[in-house]
């Protein structure tokens, strides 16, 4: 939408309400609806862009508006795991959730902001054919992975409705036709790859963003993952 400030002429009495109204309208315009025709094509110069800083040990890159992190690439493959032994041991009535190790980071928000949290992950689930009677049936065992933003002790449960599930791998993958070991992981089942974006209205303070999971499968390997958070101050 266009920005239309108040008109001031000689003799106009300035009031705090009028000035604050213009400032509020300008903030809305700058952050929510700049018209493309109002932007010069050459106003951004190299000195305006801050180079990102990479922490090679954690794999986290700190940029101008946010942070991005992902699993380190081979040759050092570092899997994360979502397992039923951390979320109820496979009991049918269990609804426990747990953080996925290494997939979270914390930001200090200086003033009220909007945070865009982007995430993706790729997992292999199972195969789990364990026979304990208190568990779900083999074909019903799933793993759910979801994002959370906020204090992990309180935010994880409130975001669990965003969970995306992956089924337990098919059984006898190496014995049935087509021979699973000669096919891709997708053909064998138990493969999940998801990505999405969530907006968070962040108050002033410390904000944590990451991935959590609930699993009814004994072994779930998180093969690769990435989390990014962009912060836009209002």
> What is the arithmetic mean of pLDDT over 16-25?
85
- CA distances in angstroms from 212 to 41, 56, 83, 101, 107, listed in the order given: 42, 24, 11, 9, 18
Six-digit token pair at 20? 């604050």
pTM for the full model?
A: 0.64
- Split at pLDDT 50, 70, 90, the class of 213 is very high
> What is the arithmetic mean of pLDDT over 17-30?
82
- Split at pLDDT 50, 70, 90, the class of 186 is very low
The residues near 107 (Cβ < 8 Å, ≥ 6 apart) are 66, 67, 115, 206, 207, 208, 209, 229, 231
Q: Which CATH architecture describes the domain 52-233?
A: Sandwich (2.60)
Q: Is 85 helix (H, G, I), strand (E, B) or coil?
A: helix
The residues near 164 (Cβ < 8 Å, ≥ 6 apart) are 144, 145, 146, 192, 194, 196
| Residue 87 reports pLDDT greater than 80 | yes
Strand 105-109, strand 164-167: pairing = unpaired
- Split at pLDDT 50, 70, 90, the class of 185 is very low
| Residue 19 reports pLDDT greater than 80 | yes
Whole-number Å distance between alpha carbons of 92 and 139: 13
Helix (H) or strand (E) run with residue 18 in it: helix 16-32
Whole-number Å distance between alpha carbons of 232 and 116: 8
- Split at pLDDT 50, 70, 90, the class of 67 is low
Question: In this prediction, what percent of the chain has a pLDDT beyond 70?
Answer: 73
> 28-59, pLDDT tens digit by residue?
777 766 766 666 666 666 665 666 676 666 66
Annotated domain spans of the chain? 1-49, 52-233
20 or 6: which carries more pLDDT confidence?
20
The residues near 120 (Cβ < 8 Å, ≥ 6 apart) are 193, 194, 195, 196, 225, 226
């Amino acid at each position: 939408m266009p920005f239309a400030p108040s008109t001031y002429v000689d003799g106009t009495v300035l009031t705090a309400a009028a000035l604050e109204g213009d400032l509020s309208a300008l903030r809305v315009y700058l952050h929510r609806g700049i018209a493309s025709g109002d932007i010069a094509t050459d106003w951004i110069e190299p000195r305006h862009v801050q180079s990102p800083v990479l922490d090679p040990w954690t794999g986290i890159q700190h940029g101008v508006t946010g942070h991005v992190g992902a699993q380190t690439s081979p040759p050092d493959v570092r899997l994360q795991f979502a397992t039923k032994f951390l979320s109820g041991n496979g009991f049918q009535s269990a609804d426990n959730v747990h953080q996925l190790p290494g997939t979270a980071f914390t930001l200090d928000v200086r003033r009220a902001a909007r945070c865009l949290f982007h995430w993706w992950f790729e997992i292999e689930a199972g195969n789990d054919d364990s026979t304990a009677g208190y568990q779900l049936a083999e074909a019903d065992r799933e793993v759910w992975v979801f994002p959370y933003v906020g204090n992990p002790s309180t935010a994880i449960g409130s975001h669990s409705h965003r969970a995306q599930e992956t089924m337990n791998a098919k059984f006898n993958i190496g014995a049935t036709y087509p021979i699973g070991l000669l096919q891709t992981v997708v053909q064998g089942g138990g493969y999940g790859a998801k990505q999405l974006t969530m907006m968070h209205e962040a108050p002033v303070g410390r904000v944590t963003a990451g991935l959590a999971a609930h699993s009814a499968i004994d072994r779930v390997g998180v093969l690769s993952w990435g989390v990014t958070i962009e912060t836009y101050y209002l």
